[in-house]
Amino acid sequence: MRTIYLDNNATTQIADEVREAMMPFLTDLWGNPSSMHTFGGQVKKYVEIAREQVAALIGANDPQEITFTSCGSESNNLAIRGGAEAMDKPPHIITSKVEHAAVSGPCHYLEDRGFRLTKLDVDEKGRLDLDVLRREVKTGKTLTSIMWANNETGVIFPVGLIGEIVHEFGGIFHADAVQAVGKIPMKVSELPIDLLSLSGHKIHAPKGIGALYIRRGTQVKPLILGGHQERGRRAGTENVPYIVGLGVACNLAKKNMEEENTRVKALRDRLEKGILETCSGSHVNGDLTCRLPNTTNISFDYIEGEAILLMLDDRGICASTGSACASGSLEPSHVLRAMHVAGVSVHGSIRFSLSKYNTEEDVDAVLTELPKVVKRLRELSPFVA
């Protein structure tokens, strides 16, 4: 059975170009970039090339503003914990109710240690109220952390406007851009963003590599101590093969940005339209006007997400769900709950997230199989006459 992979917001296929670029560093070029000898030292320039490639994708002025980390979660932890602890006075931490756990986790960690934490509501389309943000930001120096795009719904937040408000009152702004990088164009040097997280495996690099953009002048206290690497911001011998892989992945993403926003978007739109037409009682969650080009989150009334997912899985289709049952928690996705998605549909949400590797055939397969799955589960449901 062919695997139809539509779960690219969870992780992506490693690009051939990325794997090939990494191979020399897993075979011959295994030296330590900090070494004084030529054998080790020659590796350093590849780390710096990768740094330039990452900087180029996000539009940073200076590659030295990029710090390599082990993953997006580490980047978020470094930005929030490291950022807050480096400020001269403990800041008021502001975030939203729809953040990834890698952001809400460190925010709660700080709250437990006496920092004031405010989590902003979103509306039914998953949007922030900027007036409320302004009211909170006004109260003193803040570290505000808001995602650039939501992983479940793809809703894009107005990070430019958010950053302006935060800066107006002297705060620091961190954008978790793990889902946005590589999918939408960005020029961070021209935006009021101080810290920005990204992750390799969301853009066709392997798992185990991420980066944090730290704007020149922004102070961050390191989480990992004991070495001069990454200019003292992140100790530990550089993960050279993966850093090289991330660099190449960024380079590819920059080249493919146009395709992401035309061909991939068209596939997503056809998939979404087809599902809404063939499955009654289905609705898209989130703000349709301001959304990542690859993501759609659809709720199916009166049926449950894990059951849909497993029936799709049985047909070779990989997607994900915000259903409680699938995660092992008893409450459905915090994102859909924050958006007050109706009780009949909050448990039946499915996220399809595409990439450049998806084809028209993949969309056709879902449009053939999904209506059968929905029909079958509705037959089982006591809530459908």
Partner 1 sequence: MWDYTEKVTEHFKNPRNVGKIEDADGVGEVGSLACGDALKLMFKLDAEGRIKEAKFQTFGCASAIASSSALTEMIIGKTLEEAEQITNQDIADYLGGLPNQKVHCSVMGREALEAAIYNYRTGKKLDKTLEGEVICHCFGVTDKAIEKILRENDIHTVEELTNACKAGGGCGNCLPELKKIVDRYLKKTAAPEGKAPMTTLQKIHLIEDVIDREIRPALRQDGGDLELIDVDGDTVKVRFCGACSGCIISEVTLKDVVEARLKENVSEDIRVEEVR
Active site residues: 325
For partner 1, the closer CB: 88 or 112: 112
Positions in the binding site for partner 1 (CB under 8 A): 302-307, 310-311, 314, 323-326, 328-332, 343-344, 347, 379-383
| Cα distance between residue 238 and residue 41, in whole Å | 12
Tokens of 17: 């170009």
Residue 189 vs 381, nearer CB to partner 1: 381
Minimum distance between the CB of residue 318 and partner 1, rounded to whole angstroms?
Answer: 11
Q: Are 348 and 332 in contact (CB under 8 A)?
A: no
Task: List, as one string, the DSSP characters of 119-169.
Answer: EE-B-TTS-B-HHHHHHHHTTS-EEEEEESB-TTT-BBP-HHHHHHHHHHT
User: Least distance from C-beta 121 to partner 1, angstroms?
Assistant: 16
Q: Count the neighbouring beta carbons within 10 Å of the beta carbon of residue 290.
A: 15
In whole angstroms, the minimum distance from the beta carbon of 366 to partner 1 comes to: 19
- Beta carbon of residue 314, minimum distance to partner 1 (angstroms, whole number): 7
Closer residue to partner 1 (CB): 225 or 380: 380
* Distance in Å, CB of 338 to partner 1, minimum: 14
Cα angle 223, 227, 229; round to 5: 90
Closer Cβ to partner 1, 56 or 117, answer by number: 117
Closest CA to 340 of 118, 125, 94: 125
**Environment class of 281 (CB within 10 Å of its CB; exposed 0-12, middle 13-18, buried 19+):** middle
Instruction: Indicate the residue among 141 and 376 with the shorter CB distance to partner 1.
Output: 376
* CA separation, residue 78 to residues 39, 40, 95, 241 (Å): 32, 28, 16, 22
Residue 319 CB, shortest distance to partner 1, in Å, is 13
Where helices occur in the chain by DSSP H, the ranges are: 16-26, 38-41, 44-58, 72-77, 83-86, 101-112, 130-137, 159-168, 240-259, 265-278, 305-314, 324-327, 334-338, 343-346, 360-380
Q: Which is closer to partner 1, CB of 86 or CB of 117?
A: 117
- Closest separation in Å from C-beta 330 to partner 1: 3
Q: In the complex with partner 1, which residue's Cβ is closer, 220 or 312?
A: 312
The DSSP element (H or E) to which 197 belongs, if any, is strand 195-199
